Amino acid sequence: MTVPTRVRRLAGLFRSHRPGVDASPRTPGVSAARARRTARAVGSGLAALLVFAVLVGPDRLGLLTPGAFLRIPLEGLLVAALLLALPARPRRVAVTVVGPLLGLLAIVKLADLGFRTALDRPFDLVLDWLLLDDAYGFVRDSAGRAGAVGAAVGVVLLVGALLLTLTLALRRLASLLVRHERAATRAVAALTVVWVACAVVGVRVVPGVPVADTQITALVGAHAAQMDERLRDREVFTAKIEADPFREVPGDQLLTGLRRKDVILAFVESYGRDAVEDPELAPQVNAVLDAGTERLRAAGYEARSGFLTSPTFGGGSWLAHDTLLSGLWTDNEQRHRRLLASDRLTLNGAFRRAGWQTVGVLPAATQPWPEKGFFSFDRYYDAEALGYRGPKFSYAPMPDQYTMQFFQQRVRADTDRPLMAEIPLISSHSPWTAVPRMIGWDEVGDGSVYGNAATGEDGGDADDRDTSQIRAGYRQAIGYSLETLISYVQTYGDDDLVLVFLGDHQPAPVVTGEGASRDVPITIVARDPGVLDRVSGWGWQRGLRPGPDAPVWPMDSFRDRFLTAFGPSTPPIAAPR
C-alpha cells in the first residue's frame, strides 16, 4: 500500500468520526433512481385506476358507490389480451386507436350521468348536440355571460383532457404489460377464469351489480340502437304528421262548445305529479290548491283535474308544448324540428280557424324565434315585448304575476274578439333560488316594484344548497305560480273565462329522485257549467287538485279529446281534400 493511499484512508476515517458528518457513501444517483421508480409506479397505478374507472364507472348518480367498482370488466380483459398478443408496431397502432375510444367512452358516460341527473334519460348521440345552445343560454340567463363562457371553456378543456389523458394512460399500461409479460399473461388468464365463473354463477357482491361485467358492451349497444332508431324515426313521424283527422275540418265545426269564451292555456313550469303527491312537497302545494278550490267555488267557479303523461322530464318544456298542442308525441329534437317545419294543425290553429284571436305570451323567449308562426299566433309577445322593468328572479326574466297582469291589461282588455292565449309561466323554473311574492295586482305596474319589497323568498346560491333546500325552493316556487293563477281568476275572471293549466314536465331528479313518473297535473276551470258538462265523460276529479286515482292520459291524446269534447254534438266531417 502506497503512502498516499494510507493518507487518504486515514483522512476518510478521521472524517467519519467527526461530529455531525454523515459516514454513509454519497450516492445522489441512487436517490434519483429510487425517485424515478416511485414516480413510474405511481404513474402506472394512476393510469390503471383511470382506465378501470372508465370501464366500470356507472352512468347513474344513484349507482355511484364503492360497490359499483367491485367488477371485472370483460372489455378490459380483451384489451389487455390484445396488447399482450400484438407485436410492437401493431400494438402502438392499437393504443393510438383504443386510447381515444376510451376517452370518447368517458365523455359519453359523463354525458349520460349528467342527462340522467337532470332529465332522467341517457344522452342522445344523434340529437342532444342540438341542446348545447339551449344549455349555454340557460347558464347565461342564470349565471351571466361570464359564467356561461367559463362553463363552455371548461367543457372543451375537459373533453380534450379526457382524450389525451386516456390515450397516454393506455400507452403506459401497454408498456407495463410488455415489461412484465409473463406475470401479466398469467393475471389476465386468471381473471378471465374468474370472470367466466362469476358469469355462470351470477355472482353479485352488491345487488344489481354483477362481478362479471359487460357494461361497456351494453352501453355501446344501447347507443347504437338509439342512433338506428333516430334514423328510422324520420319517416315514421312524417307519416304521423300527415295522418290528422282534424286537418280539413271547417272552422264552423270546431270548438262550438266554447264560443264567445276567452280561453287561457297556461303551462306551469316543472309542475309535476310529485308536487301534489310527494310527502315533503305536497302539503304546502296542496294547501294552495285546496284553498284555491274553495275560493274559486265561492266566486262561482268549478274545476276538474286529471293527469297527463309528458314526453319529457326535468327540462325540454318545448317538447311538452309541441305534444299537447299538436296531438303528436314529440320527445326529441328531431321530431320537434320536423313538426315545426310542417303544417300540422295545432290547438292554437284550431282556435284561430274557428274565429278566435290567438295570442302567445312567452316571458322566457329572450331570443328571436322564427318558428312562432307554426303555432298560429295572431299576436306574439316575447320577453322584450312584455316591457318588464324589474329584476330577474334566478332564471326567470320576470315574475308570473307580472306576466298575467300584462296579459290582462295589454291583451285581454284590448280586444273585442274572443281570445285563445298560450302563456307559459316560468317562476317555477329551476334552479329555484329566488321566488317572488304575491302583491296587489294594482301594484305590479312595469315591474320596478320587484326591486324593493316584492323580492320574496331567496333560496341562496344555486351551488351551495343541499337537496332539502332545493326541494324547499321548488315547493315555494310551484306554490307561487299556482297562487298567481288562482288570484288572477278571482280578480279578473267572468262568465266567459275558461282556464286550462297544466305542468309541462316533472322537475329534475334532484327533486323527484330517480325513476319518478312523467305525469303532470292538468285542470280546467270555468264558471259556465256548460263548459265542464262537455268534459263530464272524462272522469276527471272535482277541484284544482287531482287525487291518486285521477285518470292518466298520454299528453298527445289531449288535442283530439279536447277538440272532440268541444266540437259539435256529432263527429266533425272533414271537407274533401
DSSP string over 103-153: HHHHHHHHHHHHHHHHHSS---TTTGGGGHHHHHHHHHHHHHHHHHHHHHH
Alpha-carbon dihedral 346, 348, 352, 358, rounded to 10 degrees: -150
Distance CA 365, CA 348 (A): 18
Q: Spell out the residues 6+ positions from residue 172 whose beta carbon is closer than 8 angstroms to its own.
A: 43, 44, 47
C-alpha cell at 230: 333516430
**3-state DSSP of 7-40:** HHHHHHHHHHCCCCCCCCCCCHHHHHHHHHHHHH
Coil vs helix vs strand at 542: strand
Query: What confidence score (pLDDT) does residue 133 get?
Result: 67
Tally of residues, the chain: 577
Contact criterion met (CB below 8 Å) for 331 and 556? no
Contact criterion met (CB below 8 Å) for 216 and 73? yes
Coil vs helix vs strand at 576: coil
Cell 390484445 locates to 82
Strands (E) across 387-506 are located at: 419-425, 434-435, 457-458, 497-503
Closest C-alpha among 262, 310, 265 to residue 562: 265
C-alpha cell at 509: 331528479
**What is the C-alpha R_g of the chain?**
32
CA 567 vs CA 102, 114, 351, 557, 563: distances in Å: 58, 44, 11, 16, 6
β-bridge partners, 209: 206
Cell 271537407 locates to 575
* H/E stretch holding 486: helix 467-492
β-bridge partners, 73: 213
Judging by DSSP bridges, how do beta strands 209-210 and 552-554 pair with one another?
A: unpaired
Q: How far is CA 184 from the centre of its chain?
A: 43
Query: What confidence score (pLDDT) does residue 517 get?
Result: 95
CA 348 vs CA 263, 338, 355, 373, 379: distances in Å: 10, 18, 11, 11, 12
Judging by DSSP bridges, how do beta strands 302-309 and 541-542 pair with one another?
A: antiparallel
Contact criterion met (CB below 8 Å) for 524 and 257? no
First and final C-alpha spacing in the chain: 121
DSSP 396: B
* H/E stretch holding 357: strand 357-361
Cell 285581454 locates to 412
Distance CA 392, CA 377 (A): 26
* H/E stretch holding 182: helix 181-201
pTM as predicted: 0.77
Distance CA 32, CA 34 (A): 5
* H/E stretch holding 262: strand 262-268
- Cis status, amide bond into 431, omega within 30 of 0: yes
37, amino acid identity: R
Query: What confidence score (pLDDT) does residue 356 get?
Result: 97
C-alpha cell at 218: 351494453
Query: What confidence score (pLDDT) does residue 340 get?
Result: 94
Provide the H-helix boundaries in 344-466. 347-353, 400-406
Distance CA 215, CA 105 (A): 11
Would you give per-residue pLDDT tens digits along the chain (577 residues)? 554 555 445 444 434 444 444 444 455 666 877 877 787 788 888 888 888 888 888 877 777 777 778 888 999 899 899 988 989 898 889 889 998 999 899 888 888 888 887 777 888 887 777 667 666 666 666 666 777 777 778 888 888 888 898 889 889 888 888 888 899 899 999 999 999 998 888 888 777 788 888 888 888 888 888 888 888 888 899 999 999 999 999 999 999 999 999 999 999 999 999 999 999 999 999 999 999 999 999 999 999 999 999 999 999 999 999 999 999 999 999 999 999 999 999 999 999 999 999 999 999 998 888 888 899 999 999 999 999 999 999 888 999 999 999 999 999 998 889 999 999 999 999 999 989 999 999 999 999 999 865 555 555 555 567 889 999 999 999 999 999 999 999 999 999 999 999 999 999 999 998 889 999 999 999 999 999 999 999 999 999 999 999 999 999 999 999 999 999 854 444 433 2
